[in-house]
Structure 1
């Protein structure tokens, strides 16, 4: 697996980035990838397909996608009517709320999306101007660089997240777009997601789907942008990262629970995918510590020292 790691120009003080009104073309899109940063994608114009986690979504005007950290995703803009979108990236730690005596998480919309494994919102027309205005305000702060521009950007981001948390309940999240891909492919992706440690070879999966291995491989690559082996490894790496952060199990147990055949294989694949070792990743598992910011900076420095592979 030769993953692309998105290069963030982060600092330990302000891990935040906006890509503003970018016109997407198929040849310019990153291949399948995942990263620790949270991501919001809002579509202004155009159309295409978005593959997130294990689900295909149509991309159209007014669509918004919530992508939690460590979620496999890839956009497929239409060649004739390419998508124009803005993307906000940030480390969730910067949105940690003060204790104000009420139960509220600005990241609640991401938490709901991850729990439901459903990442698309369709923004109502009456809300689009407001949302686009907040994105534009963040862009202006970044462009003008006035005193307090970072604080202002976070305030606008917080307001945007508040609007999503208030106005878009879990029931409003799209489950999936059923006209993207054959049904057997959607069933296989669901199976892999639910059973990441099972036997997931091309032969086993194509037999389960009742199609030939060659046809399975061709359709899988066409729709997801990945070959089967790379996708399975990526899903297992995502699971391993969650276990490293959330459990006290040692590295060898986590390797086994994530579906890797041996500890050396796990170590090799994890470092290839993330740029660091599992032990180093586990070292920074306390997400409430100030070291989380340093961890993000260290990872970006390591990634920047490696030439990305296509």
Structure 2
């Protein structure tokens, strides 16, 4: 299919924050280079083109027929690949929406980790049929369409699970000699974000010059080092806000912020809302 025109379809919704699906075709290949996370699952299916995802310290190059599977609160970026333009279908659904489904679907979630799933060519037509049918159900809104969409989502997740069982897709190999080192540094940050980490400290620890580490970290993750540390801390704060009764001040200290005011400001910059409002809206 030729990408000859932009087309951004409506974003169909079920409930306030339960389920969304959207079809998009773009010529320019623009992405979301700013690191972001959300409290819902995301399924990104690429119909045409190429996209580059950065998450969990990995650089994932998605092509036609690939799924990107994203767990709630996992920080990621997306950018254009070497092929201009892309076409995709994007699904978002809350943990509560998944929990309400039958067929034992809860056992398939959460994903082991956010990752790329490369579908065998023989599997792609059926996956795409399910996706287009979901869009059609949401567009027509016939009686009981919500149940139909839940059923289709269940079918989609089951097929994804079966494909993974069959192929046990390994992660793509390094695209650059520094990619493994950057992945190691990302893992270090993920495990030590409560400490007063700095770019210079990480550079000394891993025997890399600060300027080179800064360039390579941004290149392979889409984040500046300080920016990635900030969103990792906020991601953990989001988890604590929803899963504990801890006060905001205590959460701020536990995720590595010295001052509550700085935490509140950073949290709003990353999520667009305050910690207390986030807790109230997503519980």
The TM-score, its normalising length taken from structure 2, stands at 0.83
Does residue 1:38 correspond to 2:34, yes or no? Answer: no
Deviation digits for residues 60-116 of structure 1 (CA, Å, limit 9, x no counterpart)? 222211111211111222243444322111222122236x7x8x334x4442323xx
Q: Which moved more, 1:126-135 or 1:201-210?
A: 201-210
Does residue 1:203 correspond to 2:200, yes or no? Answer: yes
1:256 alignment partner, one of 241, 253, 258: 253
Q: Distance in 2 between matches of 1:88 and 1:127?
A: 19
- Which has the higher relative contact order, 1 or 2, with Cα contacts under 8 A spaced 6 or more apart? 1
Counterpart of 1:219? 216
Q: What 5-or-longer segments of structure 1 have no aligned partner?
A: 1-7, 286-291, 293-310
Q: Which moved more, 1:275-284 or 1:89-98?
A: 275-284
Counterpart of 2:160? 164
Counterpart of 2:4? none
Counterpart of 1:63? 66
Quick check: which one's strand share is greater?
2
Q: Distance in 1 between matches of 2:34 and 2:238?
A: 20
Equivalent residues in 2 for 1:35-184, closer than 5 Å: 35-97=38-100, 104-106=104-106, 108-114=107-113, 118-169=114-165, 172-180=168-176, 182=178, 183-184=180-181
Q: Distance in 2 between matches of 1:236 and 1:170?
A: 36
Give how far 1:168 is off: 2.2
Q: Distance in 2 between matches of 1:250 and 1:119?
A: 33
Counterpart of 2:241? 244
Asked if structure 2 preserves the Cα contact closer than 8 Å seen for 1:119 and 1:174, the reply is no
Q: Distance in 2 between matches of 1:24 and 1:224?
A: 24
Q: Distance in 1 between matches of 2:85 and 2:150?
A: 29
Equivalent residues in 2 for 1:15-26, closer than 5 Å: 15-23=18-26, 25-26=28-29
**Alpha carbons of 1:14 and 1:36: their partners in 2 closer, same or farther (altered >3 Å)?**
closer
RMSD (Å) for aligned C-alpha atoms: 2.8
**Alpha carbons of 1:282 and 1:72: their partners in 2 closer, same or farther (altered >3 Å)?**
same
Give how far 1:139 is off: 1.6
Asked if structure 2 preserves the Cα contact closer than 8 Å seen for 1:24 and 1:77, the reply is no
The TM-score, its normalising length taken from structure 1, stands at 0.77
Deviation digits for residues 103-141 of structure 1 (CA, Å, limit 9, x no counterpart)? x334x4442323xxx512122222211111000101222
